[in-house]
Amino acid sequence: MDTLLSIIIALSFGGAAILAIWLLVEAADAVLRRRRDGKDEDDFDDFDDFRY
């Protein structure tokens, strides 16, 4: 029973690590995409694009 529990715990931590890495990659991709499109974090000109 202890072996099964340790396997489940190891798989849970492995899944959490994979999820954390995936989130970091997605965040880095979003930042790089904004920089490639010419929009920095301090660029607030996006408000002009809204149509009312």
Q: Beta-carbon neighbour count of residue 39 at 10 Å?
A: 13
- Between 36 and 41, name the one with better pLDDT: 36
Length of the chain equals 52
> What is the C-alpha separation between 20 and 5, in angstroms, rounded?
23
Say yes or no to pLDDT of 49 above 60: no
How many Cα neighbours within 13 Å face the side chain of 5?
A: 2
Mean pLDDT confidence for 8-35: 94
pTM over 0.85: no
